[in-house]
């Protein structure tokens, strides 16, 4: 077991959150992570409030431990999902791609613990002032929608600016990453890519195989022109998207349309040509399938040894 301020805040055994991954993080994965002592998170990005409610109820049937829901604020269903999580008494909400200012009062009143993902110090400070109980500082090594800064530079700066617990995300794939994050001042970590290979993760087999085969240099980010770059594994879809991004004859609208639906094709259909296989740079260090509980246990054991030996360099 570990005991960081985040463990106490969220009532979890290990300070390890599972990232909310659109089309991927369902009740099966979230419940398995929570049962393993971390915080599982159901993604509410790709669907409407009733479908998310069904996943929440399914997760409640699989675990009595706390779990969270991730809301992507750019999603057209964000406000109905924001209301539904209160009805379902979801203990923790994480948010991405914006700040949840307009929902904060209702969530706080209902006792929901709100943990926004941030990619800069300014956004982190706004989140803390707005009543967040912790923030996830996500570096550009992460998969999906990414910010500019690296985890190594973002996390200590956010930790230096806030009083509330900071969770490090982006580029963390094992116990070395957890130990390093704690050294940077974080109270915990969030991992997405590693949990793609959890036995309980229902993503398409082709997605899992691509992660297993990925090398360090096999992700790329595209879409900066649209204001929200996305990191994913290199494949024909990503190469073509990059080509269109640099083609001035392609309008922003056409470019955005070229991206729509590609994540679903990857996650649900395993479409190797036309799918967008979002993944972080940690994909290169993730090679095996395991139960979610075993992933958490292994990360903790690795970190325990590293942290225990950390004083050896001191004279």
Which residues in this chain contact ligand TUI in the complex, by CB under 6 A? 22, 45, 72, 96-99, 117-119, 123, 138, 144-145, 147, 228, 230, 263, 278
Q: Closest separation between CB of residue 115 and ligand TUI, Å? A: 11
Closer residue to ligand TUI in complex, CB, 60/228: 228
How many CA atoms does the CB half-sphere of 222 hold within 13 Å? Answer: 25
CB of 112 to ligand TUI, least distance (A): 18
Half-sphere exposure of 49 (CA within 13 A, CB side): 13
Task: For the CB of residue 44, give the shortest distance to ligand TUI in the complex, in Å.
Answer: 11
Q: Which CB, 89 or 224, lies closer to ligand TUI?
A: 224
C-alpha dist (Å) from residue 245 to 99, 149, 218, 251 = 27, 21, 19, 9
Whose CB is nearest to ligand TUI?
144
CB of 1 to ligand TUI, least distance (A): 28
Nearest to 272 by CA among 204, 215, 212: 204
> If you write DSSP's letter for every residue of 130-160 in order, what string do you get?
TT-S-EEEE-TTSSEE--SS-HHHHHHHHHH
Closest distance of CB 263 from ligand TUI, Å: 5
Q: Which is nearer to ligand TUI, 128 or 303 (CB)?
A: 128
Closest CA relative to residue 39, chosen from 106, 93, 82: 93
CB nearer to ligand TUI: pick between 125 and 304: 125
* DSSP state for residue 19 in the 8-state scheme: P
């Amino acid at each position: 077991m570990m005991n960081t301020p985040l463990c106490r805040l969220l009532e979890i055994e290990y300070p390890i959150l599972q990232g909310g991954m659109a089309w991927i993080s369902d009740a099966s994965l979230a419940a398995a992570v929570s049962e393993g002592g971390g915080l599982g998170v159901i993604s509410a990005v790709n669907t409407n409030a009733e479908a998310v409610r069904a996943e929440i109820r399914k997760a409640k049937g699989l675990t009595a431990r706390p779990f969270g829901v991730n809301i992507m604020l750019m999603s057209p269903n964000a406000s109905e999902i924001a209301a539904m999580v209160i009805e379902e008494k979801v203990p923790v909400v994480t948010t991405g791609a914006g700040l949840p200012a307009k929902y904060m009062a209702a969530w706080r009143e209902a006792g929901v613990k709100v943990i926004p993902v941030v990619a800069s110090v300014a956004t982190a400070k706004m989140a803390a002032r707005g009543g967040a109980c912790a923030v996830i500082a996500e570096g550009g090594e992460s998969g999906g929608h990414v910010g500019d800064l690296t985890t190594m530079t973002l996390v200590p700066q956010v930790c230096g600016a806030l009083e509330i617990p900071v969770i490090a995300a982006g580029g963390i794939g094992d116990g070395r990453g957890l130990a390093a994050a704690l050294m940077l001042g974080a109270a915990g970590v969030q991992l997405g890519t590693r949990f793609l290979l959890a036995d309980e993760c229902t993503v398409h087999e082709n997605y899992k195989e691509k992660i297993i085969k990925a090398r360090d240099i096999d992700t790329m980010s595209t879409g900066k022109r649209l204001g929200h770059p996305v990191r994913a594994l290199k494949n024909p879809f990503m190469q073509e998207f990059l080509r269109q991004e640099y083609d001035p004859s392609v309008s922003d609208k056409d470019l955005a349309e070229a991206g729509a639906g590609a994540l679903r094709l990857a996650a649900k259909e395993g479409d190797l040509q036309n799918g967008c296989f979002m993944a972080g740079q940690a994909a290169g260090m993730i090679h095996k399938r395991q139960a979610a509980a075993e992933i958490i246990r292994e990360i903790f054991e690795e970190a325990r040894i590293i942290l225990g030996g950390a004083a050896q360099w001191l004279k």
